[in-house]
Chains A and B, each alone.
Chain A
Amino acid sequence: MAINTDKNSYTIIFAIAMVLVVGSLLAFTASSLRPNIDENKRMEKQQNILYAMGVNGNEGTGDITFISTDKVAGEFSKYIKKQLVIDANGNEVENKEAYLIDIKKEQAKAKNGGTRRLPLFVGEKEGKTFYIAPIRGKGLWDAIWGYVALDKNMVVQGAFFDHAGETPGLGANIKQRYFMDDFVGEQLKNTAGVFKGIKVAKGNNDPVNNTKDDHEVDALAGATITGDGVSAMIKKDLKLYLPYFKKLNN
């Protein structure tokens, strides 16, 4: 095989052929796997929402465990009683596919002057009602997001956080159970009813989180920016639900 690989014409032809082959290979893989990937993402959302309201497979103090994928659709329709879309004034409209609303797109809409739809899931478990809201923000490297389950006084009943690319062992620990569990019982409003949010705070001298009304949870070591991102997305996104909860309590 004596090809002169130094010729410019050969180089250009090779480059074009390479791009075509690799490009079509990637396009083929992506489009043929798309239905499976979409289905996985849909189930993941349901798992996350259920996790926040405490419907999960957690055992003891082990890792986070979701409802298994084969059961999740059934459990979702069993526990989630209503899926709502809230507007800025707190008015609700039912929407059976509210969980598929892309928060990223809604945030972009609001940024460009449009109106943002706010999904809210009303779940019921053992006689208790949960109001589960999705949140989304920025970590250190990439997006972070989560679901927070509240009662009607905006006290956190459960939380789930996830991330696209935070550093393993540091920022990625927002997906650890000990971090999520810290939020349970924390209050978003102070006693006067003013929205305060929850701050991921360093040096609040309360590592096991005994004080539940200080609007603070203990931060993660080496993950200041990710922690600040969590504080920010809770503050920004959950505040939008305030009108709804005001109406709910009247």
Chain B
Amino acid sequence: MGLLSKKDGKLITDPLADNNPITIQVLGICSALAITAELKASLVMGIAVLFVLGIGNVVISLMRNIIPSKIRIIVQLIVVAALVIIVDQVLKAFAYELSKTLSVFVGLIITNCIIMGRFEAFALGNGPWKSFLDGIGNALGYAVILVIVGFFRELLGSGTLFGVPVLGDSIEKTGVYSIGYENNGFMLMPPMALIIVGLIIWVQRSRNKALIED
């Protein structure tokens, strides 16, 4: 990799699998439950977190030597809240439709523990470039799980993907519905996200025994 050294590359690839923020660190579960009933929302949330975590990590990293340790959590919270609000305002002024889609996520981003977790665990102790990579990596790891969960919940719960019916029409009984298949409304409920995340954790740990703690 020309651009990234091996060590830097690991900052991006590790959170995608063996140090995934959701399945290994078990952070960001709240938003993973809340918005994964459909694939589109999962993807939008993933992109939004990517943006905020990438920039936020750099900002915190640049400030790491001057932040008083007693109030560092509050400072982190202010940085992320300010970032999100500024982005929200700019979108409201110049991309109104997009901002309406995103407005639901604003509160969820600010309170997302992955963001605070990475600020605290990484950006406070590392330089801006590394922090940026770490932010991107963790956000991608988060987005991957969100998209997987969103895919199954939307497919099995509503029979659609990105809002497009893929299994036939559930009311007119076409496609797979003609042979007696029914949408599982239960998949739309938040607890099912936890169960899917649990299944992902199971699969991941059965493939890589090193991840099992005793």
Contacting pair A44 B96 (CB below 8 A): yes
Q: Which residues of A contact B94 (CB under 8 A)?
A: 36
State in angstroms the CA–CA spacing of A185 and B116 once bound together.
50
| Among listed A3-11, A84-92, A225-233, A242-250, interface-contacting one | A3-11
Interface string of A39-72 (1 = CB under 8 A from B): 0100010000000000000000001000000000
How would you classify the secondary structure of chain B's contact residues: helix, strand, loop or mixed?
A: helix
Taking a contact as CB atoms closer than 8 A, the residue among A1, A33, A169 that contacts B92 in the complex is A33
Q: Tell yes or no: B41 within 8 A of A by CB.
A: yes
Nearest chain B CB to A143 CB, angstrom units = 12
Nearest chain B CB to A9 CB, angstrom units = 10
Q: Which residues of B contact A25 (CB under 8 A)?
A: 82, 86
Contacting pair A29 B171 (CB below 8 A): no
Q: Tell yes or no: A170 within 8 A of B by CB.
A: yes
Q: Which residues of A contact B153 (CB under 8 A)?
A: 169
Interface residues of A in 130-170 (CB under 8 A from B): 164-170
State in angstroms the CA–CA spacing of A36 and B91 once bound together.
10
Taking a contact as CB atoms closer than 8 A, the residue among A40, A164, A222 that contacts B185 in the complex is A222
State in angstroms the CA–CA spacing of A168 and B46 once bound together.
14
| Among listed B49-57, B70-78, B133-141, interface-contacting one | B70-78
Knowing A26-B86, A40-B96, the reply to whether A14 touches B66 (Cβ < 8 A) is yes
- Say which size band chain B's interface belongs to: 35 or more
State in angstroms the CA–CA spacing of A3 and B66 once bound together.
7
Contacting pair A18 B78 (CB below 8 A): yes
Q: Which residues of B contact A3 (CB under 8 A)?
A: 65-66
Q: Which residues of B contact A1 (CB under 8 A)?
A: 65-66
Q: Which residues of B contact A221 (CB under 8 A)?
A: 157-158, 185, 188
Nearest chain A CB to B91 CB, angstrom units = 10
Q: Which residues of A contact B157 (CB under 8 A)?
A: 169, 221
Knowing A166-B104, A167-B35, A222-B188, the reply to whether A14 touches B68 (Cβ < 8 A) is yes
State in angstroms the CA–CA spacing of A18 and B96 once bound together.
30
Taking a contact as CB atoms closer than 8 A, the residue among B74, B92, B188 that contacts A40 in the complex is B92
Q: Which residues of A contact B69 (CB under 8 A)?
A: 5-6
Contacting pair A165 B107 (CB below 8 A): yes
Q: Which residues of A contact B174 (CB under 8 A)?
A: none
Q: Tell yes or no: B89 within 8 A of A by CB.
A: yes
Nearest chain A CB to B152 CB, angstrom units = 13
Interface residues of B in 156-214 (CB under 8 A from A): 157-158, 163, 171, 185, 188-189
Taking a contact as CB atoms closer than 8 A, the residue among B38, B90, B104, B158 that contacts A165 in the complex is B104
Taking a contact as CB atoms closer than 8 A, the residue among A14, A19, A63, A167 that contacts B163 in the complex is A63
Question: Closest B-chain residue to A223, C-beta based?
Answer: B188
State in angstroms the CA–CA spacing of A222 and B89 once bound together.
31
Q: Which residues of B contact A10 (CB under 8 A)?
A: 68
Q: Which residues of B contact A194 (CB under 8 A)?
A: none
Known: A29-B89, A36-B94. 5 other contacts (CB 8 A): A5-B69, A29-B85, A165-B107, A167-B35, A169-B157
14 contacts between A and B (CB under 8 A): A3-B65, A5-B65, A10-B68, A14-B68, A25-B82, A33-B89, A33-B90, A36-B92, A167-B34, A167-B35, A169-B36, A169-B37, A169-B158, A221-B185
Where the two chains meet, the residues of B that have a C-beta atom closer than 8 Å to any C-beta of A are: 34-38, 40-41, 65-71, 74-75, 78-79, 82, 85-86, 89-90, 92-94, 96, 103-104, 107, 153-154, 157-158, 163, 171, 185, 188-189
